[in-house]
Structure 1
Amino acid sequence: MTTMDSLFCGRLKIIQKKKGYRFSVDAAILAQYIRLSASDIAVDLGTGCGIIPLILSLKTSPAHIFGIEIQKDLAGLASRNVRLNHLESMITIVHGDMKDFKSYLTPGTVDVVFSNPPYRKVLSGRINPEAERAVARHEIKACLLDIVTVAESLLKPSGRFVVIYPAERTVDLVLHMRTSRLEPKRLRFIHPKQCSGAILVVAEGTKHGNPGLSVEPPLVIYKPEGGYTDEARKMIAE
């Protein structure tokens, strides 16, 4: 069973499973943080239903975006979404393990790599009995180090890696990025409300970049009285 959802005043249509993995606000926030130019080749590691490449297609017209997804059903769904929105010339969905990327992508040729990866370690918290959701949320098929390592291999020198991750694991994220020669250059913390602690962080790193980190003003998602803040509403555009 699937549902059809519209975003951005109907400019984008998304087919999702009624039960199983469904994209969240994290994906929309990450998409707004990614900067692409017309000549860029980009790769989405763990594309799910293809939501981030689809949103990016409305913001800009990069040379091409590859969405890699290890789960067969989700990769098929992402391909359906690409066709539904007539974006076959801009987006290619690849069903496969990101760690085997050399069978379909050449190392050192990509301008931007981005990911909304599984957040939770396998032994932390309850693993969802729904297999599709479990793989999307827990590091069952790929861990943070895998994702950062693949990103570094794919990127050109000075290429950019953009990721959204739990704020409580910011130290792990920054450590793995720097160890993998993806120098952290921008951080922005995401807060559910003005008076709440950060729950997510968006980070951007540059391959072989020089040290120097910009911590940007926080993004607050909800107003005190309820509903999205103006900035969050523009990002999510439901």
Structure 2
Amino acid sequence: MKGFSDTDLTRNDFLGGQLRLWQPRAGYRAGVDPVLLAASVPAVAGQSVLELGCGAGAAVLCLANRVPGLRLTGIELQPAYASLAGRNARDNAIELTVVQADLSNMPADLRNAQFDHVIANPPYYRPGAHSAASDPGRRAALSEQTPLSDWIDAGTRRLAPRGYLHVIQRAERLPDLLSACDGRLGSIEVMPVAPRSGRSAELLIVRARKGGRAAFRLHAPLILHKGDRHEKDGESYTETVSGILRGGVSLPWPDSQ
């Protein structure tokens, strides 16, 4: 894929304008998912973070905005998006090392590195599970080419002992995620994400810890919107979610282990 020209891009506010990111007009555009992923990570200044498939950098840069002083790396398969992630980091005065490579064939220096946190927003759909997008960047972001189990394995290998893995995925992929979390990962927690009260979860965030030994925990869902149905146009996020999306606060995990 060729690089993006400025006419191919829009610049959009994230976290209530605390962060401004360039995104392709016609390619993959970040929504609430990477912001929720970033908010779920209990990082502290001085720690290291790797994002698998960082795209234009939305998740890792939202995390950096909330927690200054992190050592940040992103790996991205598509050269145009890797370049865009670097530009977004520079334009927001955030230090981010972007590696353009396939996560299943990382450069040696990255394969030998360890991180306190690994985050990922892998493609949601198995091949053939939905109509493929016409834009190649959006197609690569949404349609699984590398198996989900390979994403989890790559992340697990990069984690330091006791390091955390966080993944956001469609709820229907939970069995795949859990089966990919082998004996190296434990203390698994799942937070479903539901559009409204009384509605089934459509997304979920999985947290696992390398070498963790605590029991599995399934939390109450994070509810995105107020009310049990859509009643009018305009923003209707719950107070908790509005704080995450507009204020850049962390996602509250109950009694995190």
Name the TM-score class by shorter chain: over 0.9
Determine helix, strand or coil for the equivalent of 1:105: helix
Partner of 1:111: 116
Normalised to the residue count of structure 2, the TM-score between the two structures is: 0.86
Equivalences for 1:130-149 in 2 at 5 Å? 130-140=135-145, 142-149=146-153
The residue aligned with 2:203 is 200
Inter-partner Cα distance in structure 2 for 1:150 and 1:15: 28
How far did residue 38 of structure 1 move? 1.6
> Per-residue displacement from partner, 1:178-237 (whole Å, max 9, x unpaired)?
x26222522100000102101011011011221412222211111124511111111111
Out of 80, 99, 102, the residue aligned to residue 87 of structure 2 is: 80
- Structure 1 residues without counterparts, runs of 5 or longer: none
Aligned to 2:21: 14
Q: Does 1:152 align with 2:173?
A: no
1:219 equivalent to 2:226? Answer no
Is the Cα–Cα contact under 8 Å of residues 189 and 216 in structure 2 kept in the other structure? Answer: yes
Superposed CA deviations along residues 96-117 of structure 1, whole A, max 9, x for unmatched, are 1112224231436211101011
1:87 Cα shift? 1.1
In structure 2, relative to structure 1, the CA distance for the partners of 1:25 and 1:9 (3 Å cut) is: closer
Whether the aligned pair in 2 keeps the contact of 1:75 and 1:94 (CA below 8 Å) is: yes
**1:155/1:207 contact within 8 Å kept:** yes
SS at 1:190 equivalent = strand
- CA distance, structure 2, for counterparts of residue 164 and residue 77 of structure 1: 22
Which consecutive segments of 4 or more residues in structure 1 shift more than 4 A? none
- Alignment TM-score, normalising by the size of structure 1: 0.93
Q: How many residues align?
A: 234
Aligned to 2:5: none
Partner of 1:66: 73
* Counterpart selection for 2:9 from 2, 6, 10: 2
> 2:62 aligns to what SS in structure 1?
helix
